[in-house]
Amino acid sequence: MNIVVGTAGHIDHGKTALIKALTGIDADRLPEEKQRGISIDLGFAELELGGIRIGFIDVPGHERFIKNMLAGASGIDLVLFVIAADEGVMPQTREHFEICRLLAVGSGLIVLTKSDIVDEQLLEMAKLEAAELVENSFLDGSPIIAVSAKTGEGIDDLKRALIDAANNTATRNDEFVTRLPIDRSFTVKGFGTVVTGTLASGKICLADEMELSPTGRKVRVRGLQTHGKDVESVTAGQRAAVNLGGVDHEAITRGMVLAERGVLLPTQIIDVEVEILRNAKKPLRSRQRVRLHLGTVEALARILVLNDSGEIEQGSKDLAQIRLERPVTVVPGERFIIRSYSPAATIGGGRVLHGLAKKLKRKDVANAVELLISISGSTGSVEKIGSFIETAGEKGLDFAGLQARTGWRREILDQAITPNLANGTIKKAGSIYIDKISFDQLKLKTIAVLAENYRRQPLSAGISRETVRKNIFGYLSTDIYKAVVTDLENEQKIVIDKDLVRPAGNKMALSAEDSTVRDRILEIYKTAGNESPRLEDTLAEAIKNSKIDRGHARFIFQSLLNAGEIVKISEEFYFPRSIIDGLLAKLTKFNRDADPRLIDVPAFKEIAGVSRKYAIPLLEYFDREKITMRIGDKRRIM
């Protein structure tokens, strides 16, 4: 079993000395720390206790180094909450406690240090004060153990309590892909770049190909250590040192994430649920600039509060959008802390609901809040995936998009998608997953556009498929367009005739005058026989002595084309169907009598009774219709 234990508490309350008493390791590694006698940055130690491998993170207690404390506290499973028996609860004691609570640290032990320099009465007062501080919190009822790092008194009791607490600590969520938030980067002579961190999820093995997020830099794992020993792999909950190839340590900073390749995407907008501390000096207001601490990263950001008042009162929770000034990498459910910009002080924290959010306009807030409430209230992976797909709306999401938003491993994502497909709440359109409501709205929109076109142009045979795609689905995946049209056709709500789409049941309606002009057009072409007249001349002749204009006459002509009574041979030539059928009969006879069964242009002119002007376009039309096949300067009749 692996567990990460972090310290928390006021400066000079003996956190580092406690770790040394437990492990024999001095977690203060910087010369400045040893010179000043205080912790400045994160310190690390390890201990194997009762079959449990414990990685300790020692955090600084000074208020100036809270950002370093936060980088360590975000990765712990259990906290050693340290209070000096001679001083009791101090300002940073309270701030560290609120940080651990907001980060949802699952459990912990309360350790009263420096017990050797106080009497029983003062020690009892310190216990009562500690119990009062943690009342009704995750530490309520936790063991309170008095120790002295100097004399060793209580250290064995603390070790036994650590074993019990570790065995009762919840296992880490195994849904997420491999993620290691980086808290240190340095170089080791002969090895190169090394990064350290607590593996938040997944597994890292030797020779794994990974990436540094949010930069996307590709790297390779050349070596692994945990608890100071070389290993073949590390798993979630372990402290790890990872030797990386393909990158200089100076290109890596605290706050980056070593992650599985091609899954997590950088973001600068996240939708969150925020809780503001009761003792915050003022409410959190929209447009307020804050310091966001997420994992091991600190980033400046602005807040958009998603309620009508535009603020979140002290002691309250509400939804908000955080807009960061630089990219970060997050997964849903990840906890964060927000601190005021200046002077820096912890004012609240919360959890990420949507890590790849879009910038909201005021008119979109109400719908966004409704969907975020759905996401925040979703307990299982099946519900959550439905909420994420609903949030995507008409655009839907492909598998990669879903994985980037959830951070889940492929098998977990598959397990969440399948029931949603089975119960019909989402639909798969090619490679895209879209919620049923959005899909049905697209179907209704398509029918409405086709109906409106028929209302305006009752003689139209429909709209071209490409026009439908561009006008209705222009910003959407082609997969969604195809799925919507296929569904409507299967439901017999639309008719697809070659390249045209129209509502089912709508037929062209011709007035008496329309019918007269239609008959005239057809008669002109039939009379012309093999000599196709110019279209403009035909239309001008057909509408003589009528009230129909040239534009409307073109719609009437189109009705003849749609009905197949006139055939388009080329952009210039049109023939009545009877002429084309007659030519086909002649070609069939020639095909039966000729030997070999090949025809050239002169032979075609002769049997068809047409000039070369029409022979070439007619033969090219027959080629397109697969009636003939060109072979050199001749054609085989199929």
- Please give the backbone phi and psi of residue 9, each rounded to the nearest 5 degrees, phi first: 150, 175
Mean pLDDT within 465-480: 89
pLDDT digits (tens, 9 = 90+) for 498-548: 778 877 765 555 677 888 888 899 899 999 888 888 989 888 888 888 888
Distance CA 183, CA 73 (A): 11
What average pLDDT does the structure give for the chain?
Answer: 88
The reported pTM is: 0.76
Are 27 and 41 contacting, i.e. CB atoms less than 8 angstroms apart? no
User: Where residue 274 falls among pLDDT bands split at 50, 70, 90?
Assistant: very high
Q: Which two tokens stand for residue 621?
A: 């039309």
Mean pLDDT within 240-268: 92
- Non-local (6+) Cβ contacts of 475 within 8 A are 395
pLDDT of residue 629: 87
pLDDT of residue 542: 87
Q: What is the 3-state secondary structure (H, E, C) of 363-378?
A: HHHHHHHHHHHHHHHC
Max Cα–Cα distance, the chain, nearest Å: 125
E-state strands within 114-173: 144-146
pLDDT of residue 362: 76
Using DSSP bridges, classify how beta strands 239-245 and 289-294 pair: parallel, antiparallel or unpaired.
unpaired
Distance CA 524, CA 249 (A): 83
pLDDT of residue 338: 95
Distance CA 373, CA 318 (A): 10
Measured in whole angstroms, the distance separating CA 448 from the mean position of its chain's CA atoms is 31
Indicate the SS3 state at residue 531.
coil
pLDDT of residue 494: 82
Q: Which two tokens stand for residue 225?
A: 């250590």
pLDDT of residue 433: 96
Distance CA 376, CA 272 (A): 9
Please compute Rg for the chain using Cα positions. 38
Distance CA 534, CA 528 (A): 11
pLDDT digits (tens, 9 = 90+) for 578-608: 899 998 888 888 887 766 678 888 888 888 8
Closest to 460 in 3D by CA, of 468, 450, 470: 450
Are 521 and 536 contacting, i.e. CB atoms less than 8 angstroms apart? no
Instruction: Tell me which DSSP letter residue 249 carries.
Output: G
Distance CA 215, CA 221 (A): 17
Mean pLDDT within 78-104: 92
Does pLDDT of 71 surpass 70? yes
Does pLDDT of 574 surpass 80? yes
pLDDT of residue 46: 85
pLDDT of residue 440: 93
Distance CA 69, CA 8 (A): 8
E-state strands within 59-138: 78-84, 107-113
pLDDT of residue 58: 83
AA identity, residue 425: T
**Polymer length of the chain:** 638
The 634-637 sheet, strands edge to edge = 598-600, 634-637, 628-631
pLDDT digits (tens, 9 = 90+) for 142-160: 999 999 989 999 999 999 9
pLDDT digits (tens, 9 = 90+) for 160-218: 999 998 888 877 778 899 999 998 899 888 788 999 999 999 999 999 999 999 999 99
Distance CA 380, CA 412 (A): 11
- Please give the backbone phi and psi of residue 581, each rounded to the nearest 5 degrees, phi first: -60, -40
pLDDT of residue 507: 58
Burial (CB count within 10 angstroms: exposed 0-12, middle 13-18, buried 19+), residue 269: middle
